[in-house]
Amino acid sequence: MSDATAETPRKSSLYRTSDRVKRRNRSEVRFRVLGLTAIGIGVAALALLVISIIGNGYNAFRQTYISIPVELTADRLDPDGNRDADEMSRVTTFGYAPLLAQSLYTYLQDQDISMEGVSPQALMAMISQEAPAQLRRSVLDNPEMVGQTVDLEMLANGRIDGYFKGRVTMASAELDSNVTPAQLQLAQRMADAGIMATRFNWAFITNPDASGQRPEAAGLGVAILGSFYMMLVVLALALPIGVAASIYLEEFAPQNRFTDAIEVNISNLAAVPSIVFGILGLAIFINFAGLPQSAPVVGGLVLTLMTLPTIIIATRASLRAVPPSIRDAALGLGASKMQSVFHHVLPLAMPGILTGTIIGLAQALGETAPLLLIGMVAFVREFPAAPPEGLFDPTSALPVQVYNWTQRADPAFVERASGATIVLLLFLVFMNAMAVILRRRFERRW
């Protein structure tokens, strides 16, 4: 009978832990370990992600350059000899490339560096295809350079660059039709002689994108500017609209069906998949309203609609945190409802609103999927003009640039994509840190 257990108090000593309690304590420990493991896995995943991105991407911030003197022979670059940029522009990059190759060849001979196993064509291939184009641009900007011998820094080919970063090895070069071990050995000799060196790569931040054959020249300039333009549009639209909507819903809206509908809509929009906003942008802003594809203004509009719920939710929370006594005080002095809100409640809620806005902007900055649909995947090399015209020029965006580079064949673009991700994450860390500081600085408890 259960009487024995339930009725008479068991006269067991507290000092002896019963087997059952021991068993229960063991399962307690197991449970704790499971919980700690779960946290551990989460943190480890974060660490792995960060390490993988940084490990793959930090090399994008270094680039290999070949520094040699180049004689800009006048009869090649300016056949008419009048230093007229228009006339000279008829010489294409194909006119410049042999010049560089020739200079490199001569210089190596002068320096007594053996070019064993490397044909002149192969030597030329060690220079980036972008190098002649860059030289041509600077010559056309400064026609008086022609005829002089200038010290030139040229981008090395992506494979050679990869050798110095450990991405390309002698073994992998054996299998690669784009590079030979002999070229790598020569590169090593050139590096030893100080002709070739790897240094910090500002061009990665400032250059525009480059074609699939020229990973070494690809940069984030256009993408960063495009993202910046979009953030401007989002800030200019989402903040005022979001604050206005929140003020209405929090301070003025009567309890009725219309208000309910808005509330339900906002909470649903916050959870609608981002790609759906892309479809909206494509259908409404591009196909219906006829705005240009790839334009920051369209991206900004789409991201504004996506960010609005975040800003509205944050703004309403900080409006709600302002105690009613402040409203009552203002109303008691004869201010209108509108005056009490705009003069007293809104300023007090401002830090919270700004924090929410920054977090919304950070979300928008990282958003990719909708931008793919409105044509921001296009290959854009021209920098957009200054706003407001520039808002209608085609650009790329940081996260889209990452996606773009993942779609290219050359493995060097993995490095670029990871590097771009680092830049993106740095921006996000900066924005979130601002939000945290703002919150700490102005946090108020009533």
Site for another protein in 412-441 (CB under 8 A): 414, 417-418, 421, 424-425, 428, 432
Nearer Cβ to another protein (139/400): 400
Nearer Cβ to another protein (88/377): 377
Piece of the chain touching another protein by CB under 8 A; list 1-9, 143-151, 179-187, 225-233: 1-9
> Binding another protein by CB under 8 A: which of 144, 194, 389, 441?
389
Nearer Cβ to another protein (77/301): 301
> Binding another protein by CB under 8 A: which of 81, 120, 273, 323?
273
> Binding another protein by CB under 8 A: which of 182, 241, 326, 350?
241
CB of 136 to another protein, least distance (A): 20
> Binding another protein by CB under 8 A: which of 218, 245, 298, 314?
245
4 secondary structure, DSSP code: H
> Binding another protein by CB under 8 A: which of 170, 193, 244, 385?
244
Piece of the chain touching another protein by CB under 8 A; list 72-80, 85-93, 192-200, 240-248: 240-248
Nearer Cβ to another protein (128/401): 401
Task: Please state the three-class secondary structure of 67-95 as a single string.
Answer: EEEEECCHHHHCCCCCCCHHHHCCCCHHH
CB of 339 to another protein, least distance (A): 8
> Binding another protein by CB under 8 A: which of 97, 118, 127, 266?
266
Nearer Cβ to another protein (164/427): 427
CB of 162 to another protein, least distance (A): 15
CB of 58 to another protein, least distance (A): 14
DSSP character string of 187-256: HHHHHHTTSEEEEE-THHHHS----TT-GGG--SHHHHHHHHHHHHHHHHHHHHHHHHHHHIIIII--SS
Instruction: By CB under 8 A, tell whether 89 contacts another protein.
Output: no
Residues 112-141 that bind another protein (CB under 8 A): none
CA angle (152 as vertex; 149, 155 as ends), nearest 5: 150
> Binding another protein by CB under 8 A: which of 146, 197, 249, 313?
249
DSSP lists the bridge partners of residue 156 as 127
> Binding another protein by CB under 8 A: which of 321, 338, 385, 433?
338
Dist. CA 164–CA 177, nearest whole Å: 18
346, 348, 354, 359 alpha-carbon torsion, rounded to 10°: -110
Q: Residues binding another protein: what is the number (CB under 8 A)?
A: 103
Q: In 207-221, which positions are buried (b, 16+ CB within 10 angstroms) versus exposed (e)?
A: bbbbeebbbbbbbbb
Q: How many CB atoms lie within 10 A of CB 426?
A: 10
CB of 394 to another protein, least distance (A): 14
Tokens of 441: 């600085």
> Binding another protein by CB under 8 A: which of 94, 200, 288, 446?
288
Residues 355-374 that bind another protein (CB under 8 A): 362, 365-369, 372-373
Burial classification of residue 57, based on how many CB atoms lie within 10 Å of its CB (0-12 exposed, 13-18 middle, 19 or more buried): buried
The helix (H) or strand (E) run that includes residue 154 is: strand 149-155
Instruction: By CB under 8 A, tell whether 226 contacts another protein.
Output: no
Contact predicate 348/330, CB 8 Å = no
Instruction: By CB under 8 A, tell whether 446 contacts another protein.
Output: no
| Crossing angle (nearest 10°) for helices 398-406 and 221-247 | 130
Measured in whole angstroms, the distance separating CA 416 from the mean position of its chain's CA atoms is 11
CB of 247 to another protein, least distance (A): 6
Nearer Cβ to another protein (2/121): 2
CA angle (290 as vertex; 285, 292 as ends), nearest 5: 85
Contact predicate 390/193, CB 8 Å = no
CB of 189 to another protein, least distance (A): 32
Instruction: By CB under 8 A, tell whether 267 contacts another protein.
Output: yes
Residues 289-328 that bind another protein (CB under 8 A): 289-290, 305, 308-309, 312
Instruction: By CB under 8 A, tell whether 10 contacts another protein.
Output: yes
> Binding another protein by CB under 8 A: which of 155, 186, 280, 412?
280
Nearer Cβ to another protein (202/248): 248
Dist. CA 417–CA 399, nearest whole Å: 9
Q: φ, ψ for residue 324 (rounded to 5)?
A: -60, -25
Dist. CA 313–CA 109, nearest whole Å: 69
3-state secondary structure of 375: coil
3-state secondary structure of 177: coil
Residue type, 390: G
Residues 13-72 that bind another protein (CB under 8 A): 13-18, 20-21, 24-25, 27-28, 30-32, 34-39, 41-43, 45-46, 48-49, 52-53, 56
Contact predicate 337/321, CB 8 Å = no
